[in-house]
Structure 1
Amino acid sequence: MTDQPTTRDGFAEPFLLEVLASGGLDAAYVRAEGNTLYRRGEDGEEIAVLDFVGGYGSLMLGHNNPEINDRARELLDRQTPVHAQFSRHPYADELAAELNRIVQRERGDDESYYAIFANSGAEAVEAAMKHAELDRGLRLSALTEEIDAHLEEVRARVADGTATVPPRVAGSADELIADVRRRNEEQLARGPLFLTPEGAFHGKLAGSVQLTHNPGYRLPFKSLAAQARFVPRDQPGALRKIVDEERPHLLDLVVEGGRVQVVERDHPLFTAFVLEPVQGEGGIHELSAEFVAEVQEVCAEARIPVVVDEIQSGMGRTGSFLAATRLGLKGDYYTLAKSLGGGIAKSAVLLVRKPLYHGQFELAHSSTFAKDAFSCLIGLKVLEIMEADDGAVYRRAAERGERLLGMLRSVRADFPETVRDVRGRGLMLGLEFRDQSDATADPLRQVARSGFFGYFVAGHILREHRVRVFPTSSAVNTLRFEPSVYVTDEEIDRLEAALRDVCAIIRDTDGARLAPIG
């Protein structure tokens, strides 16, 4: 397949449409409710498709949730303003206050967070990156000003005879000060670095894509923004080693006992550590408690703020409002999106821990549609539903997740030569197929080597079973399952039948039924 698009169906991302068509995934849907999408057949009749993609995790409460739709109609009928920028937004403050209440409950403390609103998860990550860099820049500026003051103090004290420069240090105060400035300028010329785990995905915008491990997404745009160091998830001590190797020092001068001494000062090179408690697009990998503990310890010691990306894993999907809760992971920043919009509003938020917050950021960063009444009031309705009955939605997500996970484990047990792993938490689960790149049958081998294996599997499941699944974007051998909290046993059973069918095809045939369709 070439990377030159055709005009098969118009001008809206034609190359992507060709990719979808090659796997039989180019269905056009006309209606949606609950866990079901509808497309039209050739006779015009609706065809129901069971949806386990769930808007990539955006539909915790299902397609067109009646309570949310009723609230939306009410807001539209009363002509709620959307474009009232640069005015008071009491509904945004109410949403931020409710988010604070929930986050404080989950963290088990009274830490407060200020809110910066956005339109998408990637934009919330960009805002986190920018705010963390603003904070780093202000700290670095204060440090360099302090060092400059010390250098001038040394110059003055040597001049008035109250301090001397030891011969082993330098020939004169001016030479020493010039050498310190030169070496500090070399260090200050280094660009900032972010830290993030291997397998991370935080978006595809100019900044956030630098935190996305997949080189196909990141490397073409490497020169556009600050770079990241990717930390192995399964190597204890790897983070500390990276920080120790990369962390530079600035030089400073102090006077002790009348003698000038050269001392080292920590240079805040690292802007932030950004991580997902459960990696979504990287293949549905939950971080280990051991890895999280090392992140918290090293980042606290080195004063590196922690950004917890809950865009896909948050909003109750893993059985608690934040997936970080179970891991004991506490962030200086949190990003939330996807299900915050209830499946109809495009909404996201960055939460910044109060002691780190800088008010000037609100003028340095803005977004046209962020903080509008419609999306904020929908967000409040979403939280109301999730918090009702003492968090019944969270309990149901955990219970439904266990039911779904049990089914996936059963499939794996019956097809060990086909299924490599099953993993995840709550309603954020993945099934990883074994690599078929060296399969004996040519059709199966070609499909596996195409780079679109999971999409061809998904295409077969859609065509033959009318069940919609997708692989994760950076691990195409892993199918994701992120249905709404209202997923039923019957729907899980339908998915099981589809998975067993495709596993048998991979195990027992040449795989031709999975090959691209004409």
Structure 2
Amino acid sequence: MTTGHNLDAELVPVTAATRAELARADVHSAHNYSPLPVVIESGSGAWVRGIDGVDYLDVLAGYSALNFGHAHPELVEIAREQIGRLTLTSRAFQHDRFAQFCADVARLCRKDAVLPMNTGAEAVETALKLARKWGYDVKGVPHDRAEIITCSGNFHGRTIGVVGFSSDPDARDGFGPFPPGFPSVEYGSVDAVADATTENTVAILVEPIQGEAGVLVPPDGYLAGVRRLCDARGILMLADEIQSGLGRTGETFACDHEGVVPDVYILGKALGGGLVPVSAVVADRDVMDVIHPGQHGSTFGGNALACAVGSGVVRLLETGDYQRRSRELGRHLHALLAELPGDCVAEVRGRGLWAGVQLASGQPSARVICERLLARRVLAKDAHEGTIRIAPPLVISREDVTWAVEKLAEALAE
């Protein structure tokens, strides 16, 4: 794949038109985001165009929602055809895309059953409900005593239930009181999980790689150790693969790097192909069948448009091409990042086409570096603790990967 874009352009200033549009949005929108000063009007592959007429290389990919790039032709055609035929019935009635979607996602995950939702946070909440219900109905935990172990540094969404076990003060301060039953332990430590386990523990919720925390990769053997502990103590392993899954790390799932199959997969983001919000909880029947009619649902979950696009995503993944691209281009990306000067970069973490560039002490903030990248036509986003996240669409070219890191080196040296 070639870029087709001028990679030698001068620094791009923020135009008056962009500032005006940002100010117009600020008037009536909630101030829960502080976006970089760019307004995007179109996109294709790994590139987007702003209202200023400038092309930008997107190396964030919607936090992995755009694994297959902007406006993937096959997925767009699927969506276009489906929109003109049927979009929504609610789950009160069956539609002709539902059975195939469930079969496709179950096959991808090597599981029996799929419970479709819309957003990642909804899928996490669904998995938590499922684990608690399993704990009461199957494990025999006393009523209202179930505990689900969580990990420090986690990011699983923005609902009241989820932010209650976040360790990020921005996510949780001012939103309590929070539901009980979610003890938190050190991420990456199997011993910490073991020490927190009680007779009321029904599950552990874990991200195979923590994205929002700065693309933190746990020690080798951690996921396999958690899997063995869950088996030994009769608890469920819930893997939040919303950001790490569906090709991002060079395998279909990040758990695959250790040969681990969790009891429950939690999927989202890329499952919608960057077109529609699609999420799912996937498990075998001995877990999934504790949920009965009327106990959980969603009007839009499993809608016809979502199912059609989601099935298209599974077909793309089953070619293996995107996982291969992530592995090969990921090696190239990490090799280039390793050459960045040590006085600017303290550490590079990640796997596949996913990296967290940890800035060295004394450097400008990650936000400032991202603003410098914006001026160089590269769209990246800062994470917690001075980290720049790099997670481009899996369709990015090798040339564009090289160019993005060159621009990062320039931004660090400015």
Q: After TM superposition, is the score higher than 0.5?
A: yes
**CA 1:476/1:92 → structure 2, altered by over 3 Å: closer, same or farther?**
farther
**Aligned pairs, how many?**
392
1:231 aligns with 2:197: no
Aligned ranges for residues 300-449 of structure 1 at < 5 Å? 300-388=231-319, 391-411=320-340, 415-436=341-362
Alpha-carbon distance, 1:460 to partner: 1.7
**Distance between the aligned counterparts of 1:333 and 1:290, measured in 2?**
19
For 2:291 and 2:31, the matched residues in 1 are separated by 42
Q: Which residue of 1 aligns with 2:40?
A: 29
Write out aligned runs for 1:22-101 (5 A): 25-41=36-52, 46-77=53-84, 79-101=85-107
Work out whether residues 327 and 353 of structure 2, in 8 Å CA contact, stay in contact via their aligned partners in 1. yes
Maintained 8 Å contact 2:244/2:253: yes
Is contact 2:40–2:50 with CA below 8 Å preserved after alignment?
yes
Question: CA shift at 1:201, angstroms?
Answer: 1.2
Kindly indicate whether residue 46 of structure 2 is the aligned counterpart of residue 117 of structure 1. Answer: no
Alpha-carbon distance between aligned partners in 1 of 2:306 and 2:159, rounded to the nearest angstrom: 22
Q: What code does the residue aligned with 2:395 have?
A: Y
Q: How do 1:449-464 residues align onto structure 2 when only pairs under 5 Å count?
A: 453-463=365-375
Deviation per CA, 1:356-406: give whole Å up to 9, x if none: 223544421111111111110111111112223xx1221112111111111
Contact 2:106/2:114 (<8 A) preserved: no
RMSD of aligned residue pairs (Cα, Å):
2.2
Q: Whole-Å Cα distance in 2 between the matches of residues 66 and 26 of structure 1?
A: 28
Shift of 1:218: 2.7
**Alignment-mate amino acid for residue 82 of structure 1:** L
Question: Does structure 2 conserve the Cα–Cα contact (< 8 Å) formed by 1:89 and 1:373?
Answer: yes
Gaps of 5+ in 2: 1-22
Matched residues, percent identical?
Answer: 27
2:137 alignment partner in structure 1: 138
Answer whether contact 1:58 1:339 (CA < 8 A) is retained. yes
Structure 2: distance between partners of 1:476 and 1:430: 11
**SS of the residue aligned with 1:38?**
strand
Which amino acid is 1:195 matched to? I
Asked if 1 retains the 8 angstrom alpha-carbon contact of 2:130 and 2:291, the reply is no
The separation in 1 between residues aligned to 2:27 and 2:122, in whole angstroms, is 28
Q: Per the alignment, in what secondary structure is the counterpart of residue 383 of structure 1?
A: helix
Letter of the 2:369 partner, please give it: V
Structure 1 residue 352, shift from structure 2 partner: 2.1
Report matched runs for 1:159-198 at 5 Å: 191-198=145-152
Q: Is the 8 A contact 1:400 1:427 kept in 2?
A: yes
C-alpha displacement at 1:222, in angstroms? Answer: 4.3
1:85-126 Cα deviation digits (max 9, x unpaired): 31124422212212222222xxxxxxx331111111111000
For the residue of structure 2 that corresponds to 1:351, the secondary structure is strand
| Alignment correspondent of 2:382 | 471
Displaced runs of 4+ in structure 1, greater than 4 A?
none
Shift of 1:236: 5.4
SS in 1 for 2:55: strand
Question: How big is the shift at 1:305?
Answer: 0.8
SS in 2 for 1:100: helix
State the shift of 1:57 in Å: 0.6
Change (3 A) 1:349 1:485: same
C-alpha distance in 1 between matches for 2:287 and 2:279: 20
Q: For residues 290 and 258 of structure 2, what CA distance do their matches in structure 1 show?
A: 31
With a CA cutoff of 8 Å and minimum separation of 6, indicate the structure with the bigger relative contact order.
2
Check if 1:291 corresponds to 2:222.
yes
CA distance in 2, matches of 1:219, 1:193: 22
Matched to 2:313, the amino acid is V
User: Given that residues 223 and 255 in structure 2 are in contact (C-alpha distance below 8 angstroms), is that contact kept between their aligned partners in structure 1?
Assistant: no
* Post-superposition CA distance 1:306-325 (Å, at most 9, x none): 10111001111111111101
Is contact 1:192–1:226 with CA below 8 Å preserved after alignment?
no
Range with bigger deviation, 337-346 or 349-358: 349-358
Shift of 1:224: 2.7
Mapping 1:498-517, distance limit 5 Å: 498-505=407-414
Higher helix residue share: 1
1:149 corresponds in structure 2 to none
> Could you tell me which of 154, 166, 169 is aligned with 1:215?
169
- Whether the 8 Å CA contact 1:89–1:371 is kept in 2: the answer is no
Q: What residue in structure 2 maps to residue 261 of structure 1?
A: none
Is residue 239–residue 294 contact of structure 1 (8 Å, CA) maintained in 2? no
- Distance in 1 separating the partners of 2:180 and 2:95: 33
TM-score normalized with structure 2 length: 0.88
Q: 8 Å contact 2:108–2:314 — kept in the other structure?
A: no
- What secondary structure, in the 3-state scheme, does the structure 1 residue paired with 2:387 have? strand
Q: Aligned-pair distance for 1:434? A: 1.7
The alpha-carbon distance between structure 1 residues 123 and 485, as it changes in their structure 2 partners (threshold 3 A), is same
- 1:196 alignment partner, SS class: strand
Match of 2:8 in 1: none
Q: Is the 8 A contact 1:316 1:322 kept in 2?
A: yes
Pick which of 395-404 and 84-93 moved more.
Answer: 84-93
